[in-house]
Chains A and B, each alone.
Chain A
Amino acid sequence: MAEKDEEKEKRKIKTVAKMKEIMTAYYIDAKTAGQTGKKVAWITSGGPVEPLIAMDVIPVYPENHGAMVGASKMGADLCGKAEAMGYSSDLCSYARADIACAPINGGPIGGLPRPDMLVCCNNICGTVMKWYEVQARFFKVPLFILDTPFCHTGFSAEAKRYVKGQINEYIAFLEKACGKRFDYDRIKEVGRLSVQGQRLWQEILDTAMNRPAPISAFDAFFHLALIVTLRGTQQTVDYYKMLLAEMRQRVSEGIGAVPREKYRLLWDNLPVWYRTKWLSEKFASHDACLVADTYTSAWCGALRYVDENDFLGSMAECHTRIYLNIGVDEMARQVIEMADKYDVDGIVMHSNRSCKPYSFGQYDIQRIIREQKGIPTLMIEADMVDERSFSEGQIETRIDAFIEVLKGKKS
């Protein structure tokens, strides 16, 4: 038994403690903004946070909050409350949970700090725009929408002009909301730190190319919080340096995220927040490691379009050409690229009732992968926050059967 604990201890990621510390300090900072005179902006996960940092505005992420609601298993209750307010049970559960939290300060941290402004970028979905309209009416605060035209087959010159123009509108919006001038020198520094943070995040995810992978997608779901929330700060850069060092150390010592890594899998779509532990143990029990995922890697996908010397100028392209804002065939291409890079044996797709733009098209992606690579795929039906849509028995059976398929292929 003692030996077993030791084994477990060895596998624990040590920087986790530091992460919890940073996030706690951040939420305290945000929750006390009213007393310290700082402004708070709510922003979508795909939104441009750097200008906020440059303006000393505290960014708050309702989606991150949604994930916390899910992980604390408060999703079903809050989603039910939203339904009582008239919101259909078919809407995104992040939105439902957040809308239900606002009037009652509900959720695991007693509600999010009141926003002074809302910043919504529709590069991930149309849901966020509707959701932020609801909150703008509720809190009676100004809303800025960064409208990033969808790139079915490419990014047109007109679209580029349109988004570029909006970056200036965004800055004007912030100047008005904050009552001060935008600092163009400061944004250069913030931009540099943001790019550095994204590169480090990519490097961390890339350590999973090793066998065994020192980090799994389940770990990445957790460590993602900083690149989403505090991108563009020194703190984030320092933290990811530490995490990267730890991962490299693990690689050199041959420590894997899963004790006897045999099968390497790729995860698609958002996590099932209320079941990450169960799922990770389930896969580990089959010696399967989720070595990569399409979700956490979205926060370094923009690296291919960023221009470090013209951060603001390249922002339009970075925010428009992200993973969810492109056509299904391009998504399939990127999934295949990842499958090759991380050398995976199978792909697990979460068909997520909450997220239509992420989930519709998955069947075609599955087909394309099968045709082009012959890699087995597993489709799991669930929801990221609303645990009422999770059927444990059914999913367990499907995972077991899937592993049998992989076994058959390996032997």
Chain B
Amino acid sequence: MKQIEECYQILKDPNGYVKRFKAESGRKVIGTFCSYAPEEIILAAGAHPFRLFGSGEKIRLAEAHLQSYCCSLVRGALEDALGGRLAFLDGVVFPHTCDSIQRLSDIWRLNVPACFHLDLILPVKLDTDGARQYMIDVLRRFRGELGEKLSVTISDEELRAAIRICNRIRAALTRIYALKGERPEILKGSVLYALVRAAMIMDRTRAASFLEEVAAEMEKESTSKAAAWPKKRIFLSGGVCNHPDIYTIIEEAGGEVVGDDFCTGSRYFSGLIDEKADPVTAIADRYLERVVCPAKHRGLTNRADHLVRLAREKQARGVIFFLLKFCDPHAFDYPYLKEALDQAGVPSMLLEVEDRLSADGQLRTRFEAFVEMI
């Protein structure tokens, strides 16, 4: 598919892509962290939301600000900013999530002066009326503050248009994931990764139509007769995944990824926004009701219920937990998620990654052993 080639080009050099896009479109570029950044509002302001992951450069400058026991995502993003690799950003938005991002926001504000800085101090518990009201209030404030920084007023009409684009992206990715779950062999895991990732980086209008095209092509292909398919169905669980290679390694080990609950995966796009309701309220409701990130609270077993349900729905033979070292919220949830899977009879394995994948051979052996066992 030609769309996939386009994706790969973008992912090869996301910063280069966005710089070109900025020059051509004249849009301001706003860096965001985490899947709780309300892209709809940024788009409605005429700006471009650009998700920051850290480019994986060796940590040198960030050493002077963050200890070694901080996750590679936070250290990596700061390293990029201090190294001048993000100089094209006009602003940056920090949604409040974990303790590490919280402090990164402070450190960034004090040390990266070139771009404007907005904190979005979301509620942490999401299951009360008071929290819902606060979420709405915070998003309203954000709408005003962002408009001020960009010298625009964000109208309801613009918000609705942005919601429609984001919904199209979400709906298309949902279709792609569903098809991948049904007929895993029609799309490689690394391609799935590339599609979601590109959606967080590229021009969103382009992303919407492009993902719809991919979904349509996949639908066509899925009508072909399914080949006898000996691979084992694997589901991935965790936070941020920056490693397309794991898909390939899993496939080579005899597995096939049929879904995930990553924040750089299904948590990013699950849940549509009501296009008819008051836009800010509708945006708030989506972020409140979407399956939570472990840094948020929505009941005591919300995440385990979700994971078990998804694993069953996707008929997963096993789950691989992919966790970033030093990531507290995910590490706290791991034992109970594993236990819930155990009780549901779904085997799982844990892979903890610092920033780079460990020597490929070792990982391959572990995956092979796991795939064989399940």
Residue of B with least CB distance to A130: B332
The answer, yes or no, to whether B242 is at the interface (CB within 8 Å) is no
Quote the shortest CB–CB distance from B327 to chain A (angstroms): 8
The CA-CA distance from A156 to B109 in the complex, in Å, is: 18
Does B328 interact with chain A (Cβ within 8 Å)? yes
Within 8 Å of chain A (Cβ to Cβ): is B110?
Answer: yes
* Residues A126 and B295 in contact, CB atoms below 8 Å apart: yes
State whether A143 touches B300 (Cβ < 8 A).
Answer: yes
**Which of chain A's residues 152-182 have a Cβ closer than 8 Å to chain B?**
152-153, 156, 158-159, 161-162, 165-166, 169
A363 at the interface (CB under 8 A from B): yes
- Cβ-defined contact, A356 with B69, below 8 A: yes
Contact B128 A169 (CB under 8 A): yes
Tell me if A353 counts as interface (CB < 8 A to partner B).
yes
Nearest first, the 5 A-B pairs at minimum CB distance are A86-B335, A130-B332, A360-B103, A158-B137, A162-B134
Interface segment, A132-140, A202-210, A236-244? Answer: A132-140
Complex alpha-carbon distance, A136 and B128, angstroms: 18
Partner of A351, one of B67, B99, B335, B352: B67
Could you tell me the distance between the alpha carbons of A390 and B173 in the complex, rounded to whole angstroms? 48
In the bound complex, do residue A87 and residue B66 qualify as a contact, i.e. CB atoms below 8 Å apart?
no
The answer on a CB contact under 8 Å between A134 and B332 is yes
Q: Is B100 an interface residue (CB 8 A)?
A: yes
Task: Knowing A86-B334, A360-B99 are in contact, say whether A166-B130 is a contact too (CB < 8 A).
Answer: yes
CB < 8 Å: which of B64, B133, B297, B326 contacts A133? B297
Enumerate chain A residues within 8 angstroms of B70, measured Cβ to Cβ: 356, 360
> How many angstroms from the CA of A85 to the CA of B335 in the assembled complex?
7
What would be 26 A-B contacts, judged by CB atoms less than 8 Å apart?
A87-B331, A88-B352, A90-B325, A91-B331, A125-B99, A126-B98, A127-B99, A127-B332, A130-B294, A137-B300, A137-B336, A147-B125, A149-B96, A150-B121, A152-B109, A153-B119, A158-B137, A161-B137, A162-B123, A162-B130, A166-B130, A356-B69, A360-B99, A362-B67, A363-B64, A381-B67
| Total chain B interface residues with beta-carbon distance under 8 A | 50
Cα–Cα distance between A359 and B100 once the two chains are bound (Å): 10
A86 vs B334: C-alpha distance in the bound complex, in angstroms?
7
In the complex, are the beta carbons of A150 and B297 less than 8 A apart? Answer: no
Q: Is the CB of B134 within 8 A of A364?
A: no
Residues of B within 8 A of A (CB): 64-67, 69-70, 96, 98-100, 102-107, 109-111, 119, 121, 123-125, 128, 130-131, 133-134, 137-138, 141, 294-295, 297, 300-301, 323, 325-326, 328-329, 331-336, 338, 352
User: How far is it, in angstroms, between the C-alpha of A150 and the C-alpha of B120 when the chains are bound?
Assistant: 10
A126 touches B328 (CB 8 A): yes
**CB nearest neighbor in A for B294:** A130
Q: A150-B121, A162-B130 are in contact. Are A129 and B106 (CB under 8 A)?
A: no
Complexed CA–CA distance, A86 and B323 (Å): 13
A225 at the interface (CB under 8 A from B): no
Residue of A nearest to B128 (CB): A169
Please, which residue of chain A has its CB at the minimum distance from the CB of B338? A86
- Known contacts: A91-B332, A129-B297. The answer to whether A356 contacts B338 by CB under 8 A is no
Q: A156-B141, A351-B67 are in contact. Are A327 and B106 (CB under 8 A)?
A: yes
Binary CB contact string for chain A from 296 to 316 against chain B (1 if under 8 A, 0 otherwise): 000000000000000000000
Number of A-B contacts (CB under 8 A): 145
Q: Given A127-B328, A150-B102, A359-B67, does the pair A159, B130 have CB atoms closer than 8 Å?
A: no
Q: Which of A131, A145, A381 contacts B297 (CB 8 A)?
A: A145
Q: What is the distance, in angstroms, from A129's C-beta to the closest C-beta of chain B? A: 6
Asked whether, in the complex, the Cβ of B335 is within 8 Å of the Cβ of A126, the reply is no
Number of interface residues of A (CB under 8 A): 48
Q: Are B334 and A122 in contact (CB under 8 A)?
A: no
Tell whether, in the assembled complex, residue A90 and residue B331 are in contact, meaning their CB atoms are under 8 Å apart.
Answer: yes
Where the two chains meet, the residues of A that have a C-beta atom closer than 8 Å to any C-beta of B are 85-88, 90-92, 95, 122, 125-127, 129-131, 133-134, 136-137, 143, 145, 147, 149-150, 152-153, 156, 158-159, 161-162, 165-166, 169, 327-329, 351, 353, 356-357, 359-364, 381
Closest A-chain residue to B122, C-beta based?
A: A149
Indicate if the CB atoms of A161 and B134 lie closer than 8 Å.
yes
Nearest A residue to B103, CB-CB: A360
How near does chain A come to B96, taking the closest CB pair, in angstroms?
6
Q: Please state if A133 and B300 are interface contacts (CB–CB under 8 Å).
A: yes
- Shortest C-beta distance, B224 to chain A (Å), equals 43
Within 8 Å by CB of B100, from A95, A133, A360, A364, lies: A360
CB within 8 A of B103: which of A153, A158, A357?
Answer: A357
From the candidates B99, B121, B123, B300, name the one contacting A156 in the complex (CB within 8 A).
B121
A356 closest partner in B (C-beta): B99
**Interface pair A88/B334, CB less than 8 Å apart:** yes
> In the complex, which residues of chain B have a beta carbon less than 8 angstroms from the beta carbon of A95?
332
Closest to A149 in B: B121
Contact A165 B107 (CB under 8 A): no
Chain B residue numbers with a CB within 8 Å of A351 are 67
Report how far A129 CA is from B331 CA in the complex, Å: 13
Contacts of A359 in B (CB 8 A): 67, 69
A90 touches B326 (CB 8 A): yes
Among A152, A360, A381, chain B packs the most CB atoms within 10 A around the CB of A360
| Smallest CB gap from A357: residue in B | B99
Across the interface, which residues of A come within 8 angstroms of B325, CB to CB? 88, 90
Residues of A within 8 A of B107 (CB): 328, 360-361, 364
Give complex CA distance A217, B235 in Å: 51
Assess the A130–B328 pair: CB atoms within 8 A: yes
B105 and A152 form a contact (CB under 8 A): yes
B196, chain A: closest CB distance, angstroms: 26
Q: Which of B106, B294, B301 has the most CB of A within 10 A?
A: B106
Complex Cα distance, B102 from A149, in Å, reads: 11
Chain B residues with CB under 8 Å of A156's CB are 121, 141
- A147 B352 Cβ-Cβ under 8 A: no
In the bound complex, do residue B300 and residue A130 qualify as a contact, i.e. CB atoms below 8 Å apart? Answer: no
Distance (Å) between the CB of B15 and the closest chain A CB?
25
CB distance from A157 to the nearest CB of B (A): 9
| Contact residues in B for A136 (Cβ distance below 8 Å) | 300
- Across the interface, B96 reaches (CB within 8 A) one of A88, A150, A381, namely A150
Asked if A356 and B106 make an inter-chain contact with CB atoms under 8 angstroms apart, the answer reads no
Question: Quick check: A152 and B100 within 8 Å, CB to CB?
Answer: no
CA of A356 to CA of B103, assembled, Å? 9
Q: Which residue in A169, A356, A360 is a CB contact (below 8 Å) of B130? A: A169
Least CB distance from B371 to A in Å reads 22
CB distance from A366 to the nearest CB of B (A): 10
Residues of A within 8 A of B333 (CB): 130
- How many Å from the CB of A29 to the closest CB on chain B? 29
Known: A169-B130, A360-B66. A145 touches B124 (CB 8 A): yes
Name A162's closest neighbour in chain B (CB-CB). B134
Which chain A positions have C-beta within 8 A of B329? Answer: 126, 130
Determine if A356 and B331 form an interchain contact, defined as CB atoms under 8 angstroms apart: no
- Complex Cα spacing A217 to B281, Å: 49
